[in-house]
Amino acid sequence: MFPEERSSDIFQPIVGSWYESLENPEKSQRLVLLNLVKEYEKTRYGKNHHASEIKEVTDYRAKFPIMNYQRLHPYLAEIQKGDYANILPEPLACWVMTRGSTGPAKVLPATKTHLEQIFTCGARALVNYVLRKRDFKLLTGKILNLNFPSNVHTTVIGGQTVTYGYSSGTYARLNPMLDKVSLLPRQEEIDALGPGITKADWEKRFELVYQQAANENVTATMGVTPVILSFARYVKKKHGKSPKEFWNLRALFCTSVRKIQFKYARSLRRYFGQVPVVEIYSATEGVFAQQLDDLPYITPNYDKYFFEVETGQGTKMLHELKRGEWGKLIISSCMFPRYDIGDIIEAAGNNYFRVVGRHTMLTLLEHGLYRLFFRWFV
């Protein structure tokens, strides 16, 4: 499907600027910030916060407060009425929603630039993996699509009825990069089974995936990590065999949750065999980082997002963190400035990081004790 000798032409646009940004994160982040600020100038929120006067990172921190999903609500209400320019630099392309297994539902707008970034960065883990391992065979097989449905609710914006659904499915459905590989089943087929997320709904979806894939050459999975795991358990329970007995998978591309390497990888391998688990740090708000090599860490997309971390010693740039430093991750994207994504991130040196978990008392306590404990021995 992808002739090996032409691979760099096809893949360069996807991973090229990422690789470049890793050479000099500081330079790349400065550039990203200046470009972002130019976009924020177009919004009323940006004007109110004097985006046009920003020349340095320190100006930016002084003028823009940190925001989160709660504080975004009044602005979302206005976007829903058709007034996007209050906070978004460009028109709304679609709505996307998310529902963690425990957290509340979040509905967020998506702009064209945001979607383009999601598609590019969403393909990075796969492309990087194929290039690094020279494993072009991975692209000749089918890739299991294990995402949420993309049609759940409808809403009226500017007199038009718009359908929206879970971000993972929406991004999979719209992603032109994924047209080049053979997703199985296609997102439209998943959507056709309806929007429910009860156990019965999932079993219907899993059966569809299984029926389509049973006799195919499946080389990878791509999707929401707990869904991949549940699918494997379903196949084992209903059809008596683990996925590793049906397919010879080459890699698992796992998104949407924290602690993929530390919590899910082992269970996944029990069902899928000894295959590499490739972590993608993504949320409805963006695809922020992905695994660069065999080490169980993620490497940020410095060329697309602007990353800050609130640590015990004040706010720092993500790339400034030394090994062992950690804090609350603040991300500026083409849609929102200084958005608190609600995750705790820890540096592992160089461009390697680990998302410790959600920003909750439990995680803070757990991580604090973990560090306390290891200070005694390491």
Partner 1 sequence: MPYCQKCGTEIREEMAFCPKCGAPLKAEQPPVEAAPAPAPQMAEKAEKREKREKEEKREKTEKHEKREFGVIGPLVGGLILVFLGLTSYLQVSGLLRTEVASALFFIIIGIIIVVGSIYAALMASRRHPRT
Binding site for partner 1 (CB under 8 A): 44-45, 48-49, 65-67, 70-71, 73-81, 83, 86, 97, 99, 101-102, 104-107, 152-156, 229, 233, 259, 263-264, 266-267, 312, 361-362, 364-366, 368-370, 372-373, 376-377
| Residue 144 CB contacts under 8 Å (≥ 6 apart), including other chains | 183, 184, 209, 213, 218, 220, 221, 222, 223, 228, 231
Give the nearest distance from C-beta 129 to partner 1 in angstroms: 24
CB 337 within 8 A of CB 36: yes
Buried/exposed code over 124-138 (b: 16+ C-beta within 10 A; e: otherwise): bbbbbbbbeeeeeeb
Give the nearest distance from C-beta 81 to partner 1 in angstroms: 6
Rounded distance between C-alpha atoms, residue 241 and residue 239, angstroms: 6
Distances (CA, A) of 295 to 24, 313, 323, 353: 20, 28, 15, 10
Give the nearest distance from C-beta 141 to partner 1 in angstroms: 27
Give the nearest distance from C-beta 355 to partner 1 in angstroms: 15
Alpha-helix residue ranges (DSSP H) falling in 265-343: 265-272
Instruction: Say if strands 182-184 and 160-166 run parallel, antiparallel, or are unpaired.
Output: unpaired
Nearer to partner 1, 62 or 214 (CB): 62
Nearer to partner 1, 212 or 363 (CB): 363
Nearer to partner 1, 234 or 352 (CB): 234
Give the nearest distance from C-beta 247 to partner 1 in angstroms: 22
Nearer to partner 1, 124 or 359 (CB): 359
Nearest Cα to Cα of residue 304 among 12, 1, 14? 14
Distances (CA, A) of 150 to 103, 200, 206: 19, 18, 16
Written as six digits, the tokens of 250 are 């080459």
Give the nearest distance from C-beta 84 to partner 1 in angstroms: 13
- Residue 57, SS3 per DSSP: helix
Nearer to partner 1, 103 or 176 (CB): 103
Nearer to partner 1, 185 or 327 (CB): 327
Q: Please state whether 194 falls in left (phi above 0), alpha (psi between -120 and 50) or beta.
A: left
Give the nearest distance from C-beta 59 to partner 1 in angstroms: 16
Nearer to partner 1, 14 or 152 (CB): 152
Nearer to partner 1, 233 or 239 (CB): 233
Nearest Cα to Cα of residue 254 among 119, 98, 118, 125? 125
Nearer to partner 1, 212 or 242 (CB): 242
Alpha-helix residue ranges (DSSP H) falling in the chain: 7-23, 25-40, 44-48, 57-63, 69-80, 112-133, 167-174, 177-180, 187-191, 199-213, 225-239, 243-246, 265-272, 361-375
Give the nearest distance from C-beta 215 to partner 1 in angstroms: 28
Give the nearest distance from C-beta 171 to partner 1 in angstroms: 16
| Residue 136 CB contacts under 8 Å (≥ 6 apart), including other chains | 2, 4, 7, 130
